Amino acid sequence: MFSGFKWQASSLAIASLVLLPLIALLIISSQANMQLWQHLSSTVLPEYVRNSILLMLGVSAITLTLGVGSAWLVTQYRFPGIRFFDWALLLPLAMPAYISAYSYTGLLDVAGPIQTWLRDVFGWSVGDYWFPPIRSLSGAMLVMGCVLYPYVYLLARSAFLSQSQHFRDVAALMGYTRRQAFLRITLPIARPAVIAGLSLALMETLADYGTVAYFGVNTFTTGIFRTWFGMDSVSNAAQLALVLLGFVVVLLVIERRSRQQAQYYDKRKSSAPSPKQLYGVKRVIAVCLVSIPIALGFIVPVSQLLIWAIQSHAQLWQSEFWQLVFNTVSLATVTAVLAVALGLLVTYAVRTTQAPVTRFAKQVVSLGYAVPGTIIAVATLVPLARLDNLIDAWFRTQFNLSTGLILSGTLAALIIAYLVRFMAVALGSLDAGLQAIAPTMDQAAKSMGSTPWQVLQRVHIPMLKGSLLTALLLVFVDVMKELPATLIMRPFNFNTLAVRAYEYASDERLADASLASLAIICAGLIPVILLTKAIQRHTH
Protein backbone atom coordinates (compact mmCIF):
# COMPACT_ATOMS: atom_id res chain seq x y z
CA MET A 1 0.00 0.00 0.00
CA PHE A 2 2.81 2.41 0.95
CA SER A 3 5.95 2.93 -1.12
CA GLY A 4 9.13 4.32 0.38
CA PHE A 5 8.23 7.80 -0.84
CA LYS A 6 4.80 7.62 0.76
CA TRP A 7 6.29 6.55 4.11
CA GLN A 8 8.63 9.53 3.99
CA ALA A 9 5.87 11.94 2.94
CA SER A 10 3.56 10.66 5.67
CA SER A 11 6.17 11.06 8.41
CA LEU A 12 7.03 14.55 7.17
CA ALA A 13 3.35 15.54 7.14
CA ILE A 14 2.96 14.36 10.74
CA ALA A 15 6.12 16.23 11.78
CA SER A 16 4.74 19.39 10.18
CA LEU A 17 1.89 19.21 12.69
CA VAL A 18 4.51 20.01 15.36
CA LEU A 19 6.79 22.22 13.29
CA LEU A 20 4.28 24.54 11.62
CA PRO A 21 2.79 25.98 14.84
CA LEU A 22 6.28 26.87 16.06
CA ILE A 23 7.06 28.57 12.75
CA ALA A 24 3.75 30.39 13.03
CA LEU A 25 4.78 31.53 16.52
CA LEU A 26 7.89 33.16 15.05
CA ILE A 27 5.84 34.94 12.39
CA ILE A 28 3.22 36.13 14.89
CA SER A 29 5.83 37.46 17.31
CA SER A 30 7.46 39.49 14.50
CA GLN A 31 4.21 41.44 14.18
CA ALA A 32 4.20 42.51 17.82
CA ASN A 33 3.37 45.99 19.03
CA MET A 34 6.85 47.30 19.89
CA GLN A 35 5.54 50.00 22.20
CA LEU A 36 3.69 47.40 24.24
CA TRP A 37 6.76 45.17 24.21
CA GLN A 38 8.90 48.03 25.53
CA HIS A 39 6.30 48.60 28.22
CA LEU A 40 6.38 44.90 29.13
CA SER A 41 10.18 44.87 29.07
CA SER A 42 10.46 47.80 31.43
CA THR A 43 7.71 46.76 33.86
CA VAL A 44 6.76 43.09 34.19
CA LEU A 45 9.33 41.17 32.12
CA PRO A 46 12.12 41.46 34.73
CA GLU A 47 9.69 40.07 37.33
CA TYR A 48 8.74 37.17 35.04
CA VAL A 49 12.41 36.34 34.45
CA ARG A 50 13.35 36.71 38.14
CA ASN A 51 10.44 34.63 39.43
CA SER A 52 10.92 31.93 36.79
CA ILE A 53 14.62 31.62 37.62
CA LEU A 54 14.03 31.67 41.40
CA LEU A 55 11.27 29.07 40.99
CA MET A 56 13.62 26.85 39.01
CA LEU A 57 16.37 27.24 41.61
CA GLY A 58 14.01 26.43 44.49
CA VAL A 59 12.51 23.42 42.71
CA SER A 60 16.04 22.24 41.83
CA ALA A 61 17.13 22.34 45.48
CA ILE A 62 14.06 20.41 46.69
CA THR A 63 13.98 17.83 43.88
CA LEU A 64 17.72 17.15 44.19
CA THR A 65 17.52 16.76 47.96
CA LEU A 66 14.46 14.50 47.95
CA GLY A 67 15.24 12.63 44.72
CA VAL A 68 18.95 11.90 45.18
CA GLY A 69 18.62 11.32 48.92
CA SER A 70 15.78 8.82 48.51
CA ALA A 71 17.51 7.02 45.64
CA TRP A 72 20.69 6.71 47.67
CA LEU A 73 18.89 5.28 50.71
CA VAL A 74 16.82 2.65 48.83
CA THR A 75 19.76 1.44 46.72
CA GLN A 76 22.56 1.45 49.29
CA TYR A 77 20.83 0.31 52.50
CA ARG A 78 18.36 -2.29 53.70
CA PHE A 79 15.68 -1.36 56.24
CA PRO A 80 12.04 -2.37 56.98
CA GLY A 81 9.60 -1.65 54.13
CA ILE A 82 12.30 -1.17 51.50
CA ARG A 83 10.25 -2.86 48.73
CA PHE A 84 7.26 -0.63 49.55
CA PHE A 85 9.31 2.56 49.57
CA ASP A 86 11.03 1.56 46.33
CA TRP A 87 7.78 2.02 44.35
CA ALA A 88 5.85 4.32 46.72
CA LEU A 89 8.43 7.06 46.11
CA LEU A 90 6.98 7.27 42.57
CA LEU A 91 3.43 8.03 43.75
CA PRO A 92 3.77 11.85 43.52
CA LEU A 93 4.08 11.38 39.73
CA ALA A 94 0.31 10.86 39.76
CA MET A 95 -0.27 14.22 41.47
CA PRO A 96 -0.56 17.33 39.22
CA ALA A 97 1.19 20.24 40.95
CA TYR A 98 -1.86 22.51 40.74
CA ILE A 99 -4.02 19.98 42.61
CA SER A 100 -1.36 19.64 45.31
CA ALA A 101 -1.41 23.44 45.55
CA TYR A 102 -5.16 23.42 46.27
CA SER A 103 -4.72 20.84 49.04
CA TYR A 104 -1.84 22.64 50.75
CA THR A 105 -3.70 25.94 50.55
CA GLY A 106 -6.68 24.37 52.29
CA LEU A 107 -4.39 23.01 55.00
CA LEU A 108 -2.04 25.94 55.60
CA ASP A 109 -4.03 29.06 54.72
CA VAL A 110 -5.40 31.38 57.42
CA ALA A 111 -8.75 29.58 57.50
CA GLY A 112 -7.14 26.12 57.31
CA PRO A 113 -7.17 23.57 60.15
CA ILE A 114 -3.52 24.10 61.17
CA GLN A 115 -3.69 27.85 61.73
CA THR A 116 -7.16 27.50 63.25
CA TRP A 117 -5.79 24.94 65.71
CA LEU A 118 -2.87 27.22 66.62
CA ARG A 119 -5.22 30.13 67.30
CA ASP A 120 -7.50 27.93 69.44
CA VAL A 121 -4.63 26.46 71.48
CA PHE A 122 -2.64 29.67 72.08
CA GLY A 123 -5.48 32.17 72.02
CA TRP A 124 -3.97 34.10 69.13
CA SER A 125 -5.84 36.23 66.66
CA VAL A 126 -5.10 36.65 62.98
CA GLY A 127 -2.17 39.07 62.70
CA ASP A 128 -0.75 38.23 66.16
CA TYR A 129 1.65 35.63 64.82
CA TRP A 130 3.77 34.84 61.77
CA PHE A 131 3.03 31.80 59.67
CA PRO A 132 4.82 30.95 56.40
CA PRO A 133 2.46 32.02 53.57
CA ILE A 134 1.66 29.11 51.28
CA ARG A 135 0.50 31.42 48.48
CA SER A 136 3.96 32.68 47.67
CA LEU A 137 6.97 31.92 45.53
CA SER A 138 8.43 29.71 48.27
CA GLY A 139 5.08 27.89 48.54
CA ALA A 140 5.15 27.21 44.79
CA MET A 141 8.72 25.90 45.12
CA LEU A 142 7.67 23.54 47.92
CA VAL A 143 4.59 22.19 46.14
CA MET A 144 6.33 21.67 42.79
CA GLY A 145 9.48 20.22 44.37
CA CYS A 146 7.44 17.66 46.32
CA VAL A 147 5.60 16.36 43.23
CA LEU A 148 8.45 16.61 40.70
CA TYR A 149 11.28 14.94 42.67
CA PRO A 150 10.40 11.44 41.22
CA TYR A 151 12.02 12.49 37.90
CA VAL A 152 15.35 12.85 39.72
CA TYR A 153 14.68 9.80 41.91
CA LEU A 154 14.03 7.52 38.93
CA LEU A 155 17.20 8.37 37.03
CA ALA A 156 19.42 8.65 40.12
CA ARG A 157 18.20 5.27 41.37
CA SER A 158 18.94 3.69 38.00
CA ALA A 159 22.43 5.27 37.96
CA PHE A 160 23.24 4.10 41.49
CA LEU A 161 22.09 0.54 40.71
CA SER A 162 24.20 0.40 37.54
CA GLN A 163 27.43 1.30 39.35
CA SER A 164 29.88 -1.52 39.81
CA GLN A 165 31.28 -2.93 43.05
CA HIS A 166 34.70 -1.94 41.67
CA PHE A 167 33.98 1.71 42.42
CA ARG A 168 33.33 0.84 46.05
CA ASP A 169 36.52 -1.23 46.15
CA VAL A 170 38.47 1.78 44.88
CA ALA A 171 36.90 3.95 47.57
CA ALA A 172 37.87 1.43 50.25
CA LEU A 173 41.45 1.34 48.98
CA MET A 174 41.60 5.12 49.25
CA GLY A 175 40.35 4.97 52.84
CA TYR A 176 37.04 6.75 52.16
CA THR A 177 34.13 6.41 54.54
CA ARG A 178 30.71 5.55 53.04
CA ARG A 179 29.74 9.24 53.05
CA GLN A 180 33.03 10.29 51.44
CA ALA A 181 32.66 7.58 48.79
CA PHE A 182 29.16 8.88 47.99
CA LEU A 183 30.29 12.51 47.66
CA ARG A 184 33.57 11.89 45.81
CA ILE A 185 32.83 8.85 43.61
CA THR A 186 29.20 7.69 43.46
CA LEU A 187 27.49 11.08 43.06
CA PRO A 188 29.93 12.51 40.45
CA ILE A 189 29.53 9.35 38.33
CA ALA A 190 25.73 9.58 38.59
CA ARG A 191 25.74 13.31 37.82
CA PRO A 192 24.66 13.08 34.14
CA ALA A 193 21.62 10.99 35.08
CA VAL A 194 20.77 13.35 37.92
CA ILE A 195 21.01 16.39 35.64
CA ALA A 196 18.82 14.67 33.04
CA GLY A 197 16.15 14.05 35.70
CA LEU A 198 16.46 17.60 36.97
CA SER A 199 16.03 18.97 33.43
CA LEU A 200 12.74 17.07 33.07
CA ALA A 201 11.51 18.44 36.42
CA LEU A 202 12.45 21.99 35.40
CA MET A 203 10.67 21.68 32.05
CA GLU A 204 7.53 20.73 33.96
CA THR A 205 8.14 23.73 36.24
CA LEU A 206 8.35 26.13 33.32
CA ALA A 207 5.23 24.59 31.74
CA ASP A 208 3.14 24.92 34.90
CA TYR A 209 0.29 27.41 34.93
CA GLY A 210 -2.21 26.18 37.52
CA THR A 211 0.11 26.41 40.55
CA VAL A 212 1.70 29.78 39.86
CA ALA A 213 -1.61 31.35 38.81
CA TYR A 214 -3.34 30.09 41.95
CA PHE A 215 -0.51 31.30 44.20
CA GLY A 216 -0.33 34.67 42.43
CA VAL A 217 3.30 34.21 41.34
CA ASN A 218 4.06 36.07 38.13
CA THR A 219 6.04 33.86 35.75
CA PHE A 220 6.17 33.54 31.97
CA THR A 221 3.07 31.34 31.79
CA THR A 222 0.92 33.76 33.79
CA GLY A 223 2.40 36.63 31.77
CA ILE A 224 1.38 34.99 28.49
CA PHE A 225 -2.21 34.62 29.72
CA ARG A 226 -2.27 38.19 31.04
CA THR A 227 -0.84 39.69 27.85
CA TRP A 228 -3.15 37.72 25.60
CA PHE A 229 -6.45 38.04 27.47
CA GLY A 230 -5.78 41.11 29.65
CA MET A 231 -4.02 43.30 27.09
CA ASP A 232 -5.64 41.67 24.05
CA SER A 233 -2.29 41.29 22.30
CA VAL A 234 -1.67 37.88 20.78
CA SER A 235 1.56 38.93 19.08
CA ASN A 236 3.12 40.19 22.32
CA ALA A 237 1.97 37.03 24.08
CA ALA A 238 3.78 35.14 21.31
CA GLN A 239 6.94 37.15 22.07
CA LEU A 240 6.76 36.10 25.72
CA ALA A 241 6.16 32.51 24.60
CA LEU A 242 9.33 32.68 22.50
CA VAL A 243 11.35 33.86 25.52
CA LEU A 244 9.91 30.98 27.52
CA LEU A 245 10.78 28.64 24.65
CA GLY A 246 14.36 29.89 24.94
CA PHE A 247 14.47 28.62 28.55
CA VAL A 248 13.12 25.25 27.39
CA VAL A 249 15.73 25.00 24.61
CA VAL A 250 18.52 25.63 27.15
CA LEU A 251 17.16 22.85 29.35
CA LEU A 252 16.89 20.54 26.33
CA VAL A 253 20.51 21.18 25.42
CA ILE A 254 21.61 20.47 28.99
CA GLU A 255 19.54 17.29 29.07
CA ARG A 256 20.92 16.04 25.71
CA ARG A 257 24.50 16.79 26.73
CA SER A 258 23.95 14.92 29.99
CA ARG A 259 22.73 11.88 28.07
CA GLN A 260 25.78 11.96 25.83
CA GLN A 261 28.04 11.97 28.89
CA ALA A 262 26.11 9.22 30.66
CA GLN A 263 28.62 6.53 29.77
CA TYR A 264 30.86 4.90 32.32
CA TYR A 265 33.61 2.50 31.54
CA ASP A 266 34.09 -0.56 33.68
CA LYS A 267 35.43 -3.20 31.33
CA ARG A 268 35.44 -5.89 33.97
CA LYS A 269 32.14 -7.57 34.67
CA SER A 270 31.08 -6.94 38.24
CA SER A 271 27.91 -7.16 40.27
CA ALA A 272 26.22 -4.14 41.81
CA PRO A 273 27.30 -3.25 45.36
CA SER A 274 25.48 -5.14 48.12
CA PRO A 275 23.19 -2.89 50.18
CA LYS A 276 24.17 -2.47 53.81
CA GLN A 277 21.71 -3.70 56.46
CA LEU A 278 20.74 -1.00 58.96
CA TYR A 279 19.92 -1.71 62.61
CA GLY A 280 18.52 0.15 65.59
CA VAL A 281 18.10 3.92 65.43
CA LYS A 282 19.67 4.15 61.98
CA ARG A 283 16.92 2.13 60.32
CA VAL A 284 14.24 4.19 62.10
CA ILE A 285 15.90 7.34 60.74
CA ALA A 286 16.09 5.81 57.24
CA VAL A 287 12.38 4.91 57.30
CA CYS A 288 11.50 8.44 58.45
CA LEU A 289 13.65 10.05 55.75
CA VAL A 290 12.16 8.10 52.83
CA SER A 291 8.65 8.60 54.24
CA ILE A 292 8.96 12.40 54.08
CA PRO A 293 8.82 12.73 50.25
CA ILE A 294 5.89 10.31 49.99
CA ALA A 295 3.98 12.12 52.73
CA LEU A 296 4.61 15.61 51.32
CA GLY A 297 4.12 14.70 47.67
CA PHE A 298 1.16 12.32 47.90
CA ILE A 299 -0.32 11.29 51.26
CA VAL A 300 -0.93 14.76 52.73
CA PRO A 301 -2.59 16.33 49.64
CA VAL A 302 -4.63 13.20 48.84
CA SER A 303 -5.80 12.93 52.47
CA GLN A 304 -7.02 16.53 52.40
CA LEU A 305 -8.88 15.91 49.14
CA LEU A 306 -10.49 12.77 50.56
CA ILE A 307 -11.66 14.66 53.66
CA TRP A 308 -13.23 17.37 51.48
CA ALA A 309 -14.84 14.77 49.22
CA ILE A 310 -16.36 12.89 52.18
CA GLN A 311 -17.63 16.09 53.82
CA SER A 312 -19.33 17.38 50.70
CA HIS A 313 -20.04 14.23 48.70
CA ALA A 314 -23.78 14.92 48.48
CA GLN A 315 -23.21 18.13 46.55
CA LEU A 316 -20.35 16.76 44.44
CA TRP A 317 -22.13 13.74 42.95
CA GLN A 318 -24.17 15.80 40.57
CA SER A 319 -24.98 15.24 36.94
CA GLU A 320 -22.36 17.86 36.04
CA PHE A 321 -19.61 15.64 37.43
CA TRP A 322 -20.54 12.79 35.11
CA GLN A 323 -20.71 15.22 32.18
CA LEU A 324 -17.18 16.35 33.07
CA VAL A 325 -16.03 12.73 33.24
CA PHE A 326 -17.60 12.06 29.83
CA ASN A 327 -16.01 15.17 28.29
CA THR A 328 -12.59 14.36 29.71
CA VAL A 329 -12.58 10.65 28.94
CA SER A 330 -13.90 11.08 25.39
CA LEU A 331 -11.40 13.84 24.63
CA ALA A 332 -8.52 11.85 26.10
CA THR A 333 -9.57 8.67 24.27
CA VAL A 334 -9.81 10.31 20.84
CA THR A 335 -6.47 12.08 21.33
CA ALA A 336 -4.75 8.92 22.59
CA VAL A 337 -5.94 6.85 19.62
CA LEU A 338 -4.84 9.51 17.11
CA ALA A 339 -1.49 10.09 18.85
CA VAL A 340 -0.71 6.37 18.89
CA ALA A 341 -1.72 5.92 15.23
CA LEU A 342 0.40 8.87 14.07
CA GLY A 343 3.30 7.90 16.35
CA LEU A 344 3.23 4.35 14.97
CA LEU A 345 3.37 5.67 11.40
CA VAL A 346 6.43 7.81 12.19
CA THR A 347 8.36 5.12 14.06
CA TYR A 348 7.54 2.48 11.45
CA ALA A 349 8.55 4.83 8.62
CA VAL A 350 11.98 5.18 10.24
CA ARG A 351 12.29 1.39 10.58
CA THR A 352 11.15 0.75 7.01
CA THR A 353 13.07 3.39 5.07
CA GLN A 354 15.97 4.50 7.35
CA ALA A 355 15.86 7.72 5.32
CA PRO A 356 17.17 11.03 6.73
CA VAL A 357 13.73 12.56 6.17
CA THR A 358 11.99 10.05 8.43
CA ARG A 359 14.67 10.37 11.13
CA PHE A 360 14.27 14.15 10.98
CA ALA A 361 10.49 13.78 11.29
CA LYS A 362 10.93 11.56 14.34
CA GLN A 363 13.22 14.11 16.01
CA VAL A 364 10.74 16.92 15.37
CA VAL A 365 7.80 14.93 16.77
CA SER A 366 9.79 13.97 19.87
CA LEU A 367 10.37 17.68 20.68
CA GLY A 368 6.66 18.36 21.18
CA TYR A 369 6.51 17.23 24.81
CA ALA A 370 9.22 19.72 25.79
CA VAL A 371 7.09 22.66 24.62
CA PRO A 372 4.75 23.96 27.37
CA GLY A 373 1.02 23.75 26.73
CA THR A 374 0.72 27.54 26.90
CA ILE A 375 3.10 27.99 23.97
CA ILE A 376 1.42 25.27 21.93
CA ALA A 377 -1.96 26.90 22.54
CA VAL A 378 -0.70 30.27 21.29
CA ALA A 379 1.09 28.70 18.34
CA THR A 380 -1.89 26.60 17.28
CA LEU A 381 -4.89 28.79 17.94
CA VAL A 382 -3.72 31.94 16.17
CA PRO A 383 -2.94 30.32 12.77
CA LEU A 384 -6.24 28.41 12.92
CA ALA A 385 -8.12 31.63 13.67
CA ARG A 386 -6.48 33.36 10.72
CA LEU A 387 -7.27 30.39 8.48
CA ASP A 388 -10.89 30.64 9.63
CA ASN A 389 -10.92 34.33 8.73
CA LEU A 390 -9.52 33.61 5.27
CA ILE A 391 -12.12 30.91 4.63
CA ASP A 392 -14.89 33.17 5.91
CA ALA A 393 -13.72 36.09 3.74
CA TRP A 394 -13.58 33.90 0.63
CA PHE A 395 -17.08 32.53 1.21
CA ARG A 396 -18.39 36.05 1.83
CA THR A 397 -16.83 37.23 -1.43
CA GLN A 398 -17.90 34.27 -3.54
CA PHE A 399 -21.27 33.30 -2.05
CA ASN A 400 -22.18 36.15 0.31
CA LEU A 401 -22.18 33.54 3.06
CA SER A 402 -20.42 33.60 6.43
CA THR A 403 -18.86 30.32 7.60
CA GLY A 404 -17.97 31.55 11.10
CA LEU A 405 -15.36 29.64 13.08
CA ILE A 406 -14.74 26.24 11.53
CA LEU A 407 -11.48 25.26 13.26
CA SER A 408 -10.59 27.66 16.07
CA GLY A 409 -12.65 27.40 19.22
CA THR A 410 -13.59 23.80 18.42
CA LEU A 411 -12.64 20.43 19.82
CA ALA A 412 -10.67 19.78 16.62
CA ALA A 413 -8.32 22.66 17.44
CA LEU A 414 -7.92 21.40 21.01
CA ILE A 415 -7.11 17.87 19.80
CA ILE A 416 -4.51 19.26 17.37
CA ALA A 417 -2.83 21.08 20.27
CA TYR A 418 -2.86 17.89 22.37
CA LEU A 419 -1.35 15.93 19.47
CA VAL A 420 1.46 18.47 19.08
CA ARG A 421 2.33 18.13 22.77
CA PHE A 422 1.68 14.44 23.50
CA MET A 423 2.58 12.55 20.31
CA ALA A 424 6.13 12.39 21.71
CA VAL A 425 4.82 10.35 24.66
CA ALA A 426 3.36 7.72 22.33
CA LEU A 427 6.44 7.83 20.13
CA GLY A 428 8.78 6.91 23.00
CA SER A 429 6.78 3.85 24.02
CA LEU A 430 6.28 2.62 20.42
CA ASP A 431 9.90 3.19 19.50
CA ALA A 432 11.07 1.08 22.44
CA GLY A 433 8.62 -1.67 21.44
CA LEU A 434 9.71 -1.70 17.78
CA GLN A 435 13.39 -1.83 18.72
CA ALA A 436 12.70 -5.01 20.69
CA ILE A 437 11.51 -6.76 17.48
CA ALA A 438 14.39 -8.28 15.55
CA PRO A 439 14.85 -7.00 11.95
CA THR A 440 14.92 -10.63 10.80
CA MET A 441 11.15 -10.72 11.39
CA ASP A 442 10.73 -8.02 8.74
CA GLN A 443 13.07 -9.79 6.35
CA ALA A 444 11.28 -13.12 6.78
CA ALA A 445 7.87 -11.52 6.15
CA LYS A 446 9.14 -9.66 3.07
CA SER A 447 10.71 -12.82 1.66
CA MET A 448 7.20 -14.32 1.74
CA GLY A 449 5.94 -11.48 -0.46
CA SER A 450 4.46 -9.16 2.17
CA THR A 451 4.63 -5.40 1.63
CA PRO A 452 5.83 -3.14 4.51
CA TRP A 453 2.21 -2.18 5.21
CA GLN A 454 1.24 -5.87 5.45
CA VAL A 455 4.24 -6.54 7.71
CA LEU A 456 3.04 -3.76 9.99
CA GLN A 457 -0.52 -5.12 10.09
CA ARG A 458 0.23 -8.84 10.38
CA VAL A 459 3.52 -8.92 12.31
CA HIS A 460 4.33 -5.77 14.21
CA ILE A 461 0.95 -4.61 15.50
CA PRO A 462 0.17 -8.02 17.10
CA MET A 463 3.65 -8.05 18.68
CA LEU A 464 3.30 -4.44 19.85
CA LYS A 465 0.10 -4.91 21.84
CA GLY A 466 1.82 -4.12 25.14
CA SER A 467 3.58 -1.02 23.79
CA LEU A 468 0.41 0.19 22.08
CA LEU A 469 -1.58 -0.14 25.31
CA THR A 470 1.14 1.65 27.31
CA ALA A 471 1.28 4.48 24.78
CA LEU A 472 -2.52 4.81 24.83
CA LEU A 473 -2.61 5.00 28.62
CA LEU A 474 0.24 7.50 28.89
CA VAL A 475 -1.32 9.91 26.38
CA PHE A 476 -4.76 9.41 27.94
CA VAL A 477 -3.52 10.40 31.41
CA ASP A 478 -1.47 13.34 30.15
CA VAL A 479 -4.52 14.74 28.35
CA MET A 480 -6.61 14.34 31.52
CA LYS A 481 -4.07 16.40 33.52
CA GLU A 482 -3.33 19.08 30.90
CA LEU A 483 -4.58 22.47 32.08
CA PRO A 484 -3.08 25.49 30.19
CA ALA A 485 -3.83 24.34 26.63
CA THR A 486 -7.32 23.18 27.64
CA LEU A 487 -8.02 26.44 29.42
CA ILE A 488 -7.11 28.51 26.35
CA MET A 489 -8.46 26.36 23.53
CA ARG A 490 -11.58 24.61 24.85
CA PRO A 491 -14.83 25.46 23.07
CA PHE A 492 -17.24 27.79 24.82
CA ASN A 493 -19.16 26.09 27.65
CA PHE A 494 -17.06 22.92 27.37
CA ASN A 495 -15.23 21.85 30.53
CA THR A 496 -13.00 19.00 31.58
CA LEU A 497 -12.15 17.72 35.07
CA ALA A 498 -8.90 19.72 35.13
CA VAL A 499 -10.56 22.98 34.06
CA ARG A 500 -13.47 22.57 36.49
CA ALA A 501 -11.07 21.83 39.38
CA TYR A 502 -9.11 24.97 38.47
CA GLU A 503 -12.29 27.08 38.25
CA TYR A 504 -13.58 25.85 41.62
CA ALA A 505 -10.20 26.50 43.24
CA SER A 506 -10.00 29.98 41.67
CA ASP A 507 -13.40 30.74 43.24
CA GLU A 508 -12.05 29.46 46.61
CA ARG A 509 -14.43 26.49 46.46
CA LEU A 510 -11.66 24.04 47.29
CA ALA A 511 -13.97 21.34 48.66
CA ASP A 512 -15.97 21.41 45.42
CA ALA A 513 -12.74 20.86 43.48
CA SER A 514 -11.91 17.70 45.44
CA LEU A 515 -13.85 15.09 43.45
CA ALA A 516 -12.56 16.24 40.06
CA SER A 517 -9.04 16.37 41.49
CA LEU A 518 -9.29 12.85 42.93
CA ALA A 519 -10.53 11.54 39.56
CA ILE A 520 -7.45 13.01 37.84
CA ILE A 521 -5.14 11.51 40.48
CA CYS A 522 -6.75 8.06 40.15
CA ALA A 523 -6.14 8.17 36.39
CA GLY A 524 -2.57 9.34 37.02
CA LEU A 525 -1.90 6.24 39.14
CA ILE A 526 -2.18 4.00 36.06
CA PRO A 527 1.17 4.97 34.47
CA VAL A 528 2.81 4.91 37.92
CA ILE A 529 1.71 1.28 38.34
CA LEU A 530 2.96 0.44 34.82
CA LEU A 531 6.26 2.16 35.54
CA THR A 532 6.65 0.30 38.83
CA LYS A 533 6.06 -3.07 37.16
CA ALA A 534 8.54 -2.23 34.40
CA ILE A 535 11.19 -1.28 36.98
CA GLN A 536 10.59 -4.45 38.98
CA ARG A 537 10.96 -6.58 35.82
CA HIS A 538 14.19 -4.77 34.94
CA THR A 539 15.58 -5.06 38.49
CA HIS A 540 14.82 -8.73 38.95
Tens digit of each residue's pLDDT, the chain (540 residues): 556 778 888 888 999 988 888 888 888 888 878 888 888 888 889 999 999 999 999 999 999 999 999 999 998 899 999 889 988 999 998 899 999 999 999 999 998 899 999 999 998 888 888 899 999 999 999 999 999 999 999 888 888 887 777 777 777 777 777 777 888 888 888 888 888 889 889 988 988 999 999 999 999 889 888 888 888 888 888 888 888 888 888 887 887 776 665 555 455 555 566 788 998 899 899 999 999 999 999 999 999 999 998 887 666 666 678 888 899 999 999 999 999 999 999 999 988 887 888 888 888 888 787 788 888 888 888 788 888 888 888 888 888 888 777 787 789 899 999 999 899 888 877 887 888 788 888 888 878 878 888 888 888 888 888 888 888 888 888 898 888 889 888 888 888 999 989 998 888 888 888 888 999 998 888 878 877 777 666 665
Of 455, 457, 497, nearest in space to 479 by CA: 497
pTM of the predicted protein model: 0.85
Angle at the Cα of 330 from the Cα atoms of 325 and 335, rounded to 5 degrees: 130
Of 478, 497, 482, nearest in space to 325 by CA: 497
Q: DSSP characters for 243-306?
A: HHHHHHHHHHHHHHHHHHH------S--PPPPPEEP-HHHHHHHHHHHHHHHIIIIIHHHHHHH
Other CB atoms within 10 A of residue 127 CB: 7
**Residue 525 half-sphere exposure toward CB, CA atoms < 13 A:** 8
**Alpha-carbon torsion 410, 413, 415, 421, what sign?**
negative
- How far apart CA 424 and CA 362 sit, in angstroms, is 9
**Length, in residues, of the chain:** 540
